[in-house]
Amino acid sequence: MLALVYNALLTLGLALCAPWLALRLLRADSRRVALARLGLGRRWLPAPPPPGGLWLHALSVGEVRSAVPLLRGLAARFPRRPLIFSVGTAQGLAMARQQLAGMEVTTLVRPLDAPWAVGRLLDVLRPALFCLVEGDIWPAWQWALARRGAPRLLVNGRVSPRTFKSYRRAPALARGLFAGFDRVLAQTETDRQRLAAIGVGDDRLAVGGNLKFDSAPAPLDRAAIARIAHDLGLVGRPVVVAGSTHQGEEEPCLEALAALKDQWPDLALLLAPREVRRGGAVARLAAERGFRVARVSQGRPPEGCDVVVLDVLGRLAQAYAIGRAAFVGGSLCAVGGHNLLEPAAQGVPVVFGPVVHNFLEMAQMLEDIGGGARIQSGDELLAVWRELLAEPLKAAAMGRAGREFCQAHRGAVARAVEEAASLLERAHGC
């Protein structure tokens, strides 16, 4: 009865969203993913892999980066099992295919909980295990997988303060949301406590750590850093990096650059918008302020640019390594912050805004050990960047603390692989 009511409400919701969905279907750049998310037609269905595969799902770019090391870990542990990797966005799919090039993996966009799509896809995939990374929880998928005997594992589970308030207002619905998982691995003890408070049983709940620690690239050597600087047209230049920025965050970064150039006239800003399609708009913002600008998507930037817009996927994590200091976006606006570990892993001082509920404990720990600096405004960003440029020994100590923090907290992938192995053993005896 619950499934019947849920499917009816979901279908009604999709009908109410029909005008917006129609616009998505009319746009050529979003039509393919929109059709797949709605489960319409047949082109979104992949070629059938052999049965008994390991299926990972990650919503978008951030989750994909976290999930790829886990997929590699599962492949090493279970080399004979097929691998399946699904996403929920076009950027996520592009990132997955880029990161998984050379591996034999079935990649696809997973539909929403549409009742006409769930069974069709499971008939094609026939997985032995489903693993969800962080979010994009849809109950009908868990119900259908359970009926087919496939255990369900949630890893990198996170509950933001805002989400926790919503769960507390409707605890029965929250419990139902997580009831479809055989095992839930929370990122932190705070996340575990919040999940326990809404009724997720201790027998299904544990702290697994954050996969992002394992997905952060190893520190690059000088030769690799020099190649990145060359490829970006920034050889021999002091650089500050602003990564994963959103609308409203580029302006304070550009204003800081303008102020800092009085003291460091050769200073350059590497600016990476979270959505690479905004590259043109971000470049225009910089040009309007009189800066010489280049976009990486248009080819290798010429020497002498003040602002290099990194509007391509998959290069930011390593590009942080050329920075004297970094700012991680999504934190001066109501997004909740993005991955603080990527600059920290390269030994680059990390600056972030006040809105970091996506990485609450990580941000606090980085701040406590001296590897990160929290700011409240663009003026404070300027002040911190100025201090780090003027005091290289302090910047180096801050970067070293961040790098050691990253190395000390690895291991979430190994824990998740062990949980997956345990679920497979109980369900299938292997």
Q: Which residues are catalytic?
A: 63
Q: Give the C-alpha separation, 146 to 140, whole Å.
A: 10
Nearest to 67 by CA among 83, 50, 43: 83
Tokens linked to 87: 């996403």
Where does 259-323 show beta strands of DSSP type E? 268-273, 293-295, 307-309
Number of H helices, E strands in the chain: 20, 14
Closest CA to 328 of 342, 318, 314, 315: 342
Residue that has been written with the tokens 């997004």 in this structure: 335
CB 321 within 8 A of CB 243: no
Residue with tokens 């969203």: 17
Give the side-chain half-sphere CA count within 13 A for 124.
16
Cβ atoms of 331 and 352 within 8 Å: the answer is yes
Strand partners, 113: none
| Residues 417 and 73 sit within 8 Å (Cβ to Cβ) | yes
What's the Cα-to-Cα distance from 341 to each of 85, 225, 231, rounded to whole Å? 24, 17, 23
Q: How large is the angle between the packed helices 139-147 and 2-16, nearest 10 degrees?
A: 140
- Reading the block at residue 290, the tokens are 């009189």
Rg (CA), the chain: 22
Joined tokens for residue 78: 């279970």
CA distances from 67 to 18, 33, 42, 216, 245 (A): 32, 20, 27, 11, 22
CA distance 140 to 14: 15
> Measured between alpha carbons, how far is residue 154 from residues 78, 142, 158, 173, 348 in Å?
19, 11, 10, 17, 31
Quick count: other Cβ atoms within 10 Å of Cβ 382? 19
Closest CA to 75 of 65, 88, 85: 85
What contacts 306, CB < 8 A, 6 or more positions away?
257, 261, 268, 269, 286, 291, 292, 293
